[in-house]
Structure 1
């Protein structure tokens, strides 16, 4: 089976600061991959490289069997890559439904009844149907997180990149969001999820990678990664020989 996403020797630096240090890994269709690493490790930069808002200094990115290394961010979005952001920034003066319609028409290329049907289906999936005609600026934090998911899903993605979407939520809100993400993944969407709320991440993903100073330092089943002395030292601040 062809990987949905393949990074090969991906490199990116800003002067002396390296955010991607020869990164190589694959994501198969249907995978749920978790990404761990301390603040400043280069996790969000990795997403920026995948989505095309950053250009690499070296290496390649393949998506769905095509070399997309030099593709624009818009072309990557149209091809099936979507993401959420750490800080939700909806169009506050528009309704939830209007926010969804922008994604459906501008990224998915749908119009009229087809766009409306998609948006309503996604709003139902993300639990925002009752808020469809509410201004996005009046939403709670959990609802804004759900709107981030909605806008991403309305682009009809094959690959969904989640950037710390559980951050700032209460435990009950986090559990509610986890259920929604599980349902999205069960519906066939491949997921890569960066998260500091580790228990939320581990309840969804089937594989973990750990990034530190732009370098991929560990990859494997979640249980093995969380028990790794190297990961405990770098990510959790525990001495490896403790």
Structure 2
């Protein structure tokens, strides 16, 4: 039986909750009492300067490493001490800033690994599902091509394909628009919009702000592992504090 979800502060159903999450490596703090929620089906954007702790936050959510303090709740359960593999099976999937496909395998084989190992699908069911996802991410014509021969845009699409083939309830995207041309970015944004429309919750870390703003419902800003702003995307981007910390524009006295 699927456990009940917990209500978020705004009355919606929260799929993820970070509760005062903290993590340091020596003198370097990558998460400083970080707290927020993501509603079921919501798209949350995350911005902040390089080294702010954004990717480390993803590592804490996926279980790559554990927190020093605080708790992680997902789908109604405390998963703070759950392994990364079990979190994947529970419905958390991610893409990486630098695509990491199995280069010697085909696009379809990469998708199948995610479908069988994370989603637990087998045989024809797994094959059909992978083909559906490849069509959604516009990689179906490349299904039998070796992943190592793909263009940057295609590798980023494969990152999303592999994540989606895990049948996630929560999809974590790490700077997936970085390095793309404007036209490539536009195609990628549309794919992410389609994923969002399907009901998958998304947390998207991105430096290409106009791409982020085209998709997300809410925005948070992180600096030195601490959440410094949260709210409606346009208002957040117009905040003097955000302009000073993130954009390097000095706020008025």
Question: For the superposition of Structure 1 and Structure 2, which TM-score range results when normalised by the shorter chain?
Answer: over 0.9
In structure 2, the partner of 1:234 is 245
Consecutive unaligned residues of structure 1, counting only runs of 5 or more, are none
Instruction: Please tell me whether residue 50 in structure 1 is matched to residue 88 in structure 2.
Output: no
Aligned CA RMSD, in angstroms, stands at 0.7
- SS of the equivalent of 1:4 reads strand
Aligned positions of 1:62-211 closer than 5 A: 62-211=73-222
- SS of the equivalent of 1:123 reads helix
TM-score, normalization: structure 1? 0.99
Consecutive unaligned residues of structure 2, counting only runs of 5 or more, are 1-6, 8-12
Q: C-alpha deviations, 1:39-93, integer Å up to 9, x for none?
A: 0000000000000001100000000110000000000000000000000011111
Runs of 4+ in 1 over 4 A off after TM superposition: none
Q: C-alpha deviations, 1:130-187, integer Å up to 9, x for none?
A: 0000000110000000000000000000000000000000000000000000001101
- SS of the equivalent of 2:18 reads strand
- SS of the equivalent of 2:252 reads coil
Give, in whole Å, the separation in 2 of the partners of 1:222 and 1:3. 19
Give, in whole Å, the separation in 1 of the partners of 2:205 and 2:65. 17
Match of 2:19 among 8, 12, 18: 8
Give, in whole Å, the separation in 2 of the partners of 1:3 and 1:12. 23
Give, in whole Å, the separation in 2 of the partners of 1:119 and 1:132. 10
TM-score, normalization: structure 2? 0.95
Give, in whole Å, the separation in 2 of the partners of 1:161 and 1:172. 23
Q: What is the number of residues matched between the two proteins?
A: 242
Q: Could you tell me how far 1:3 is from its partner in structure 2?
A: 1.0
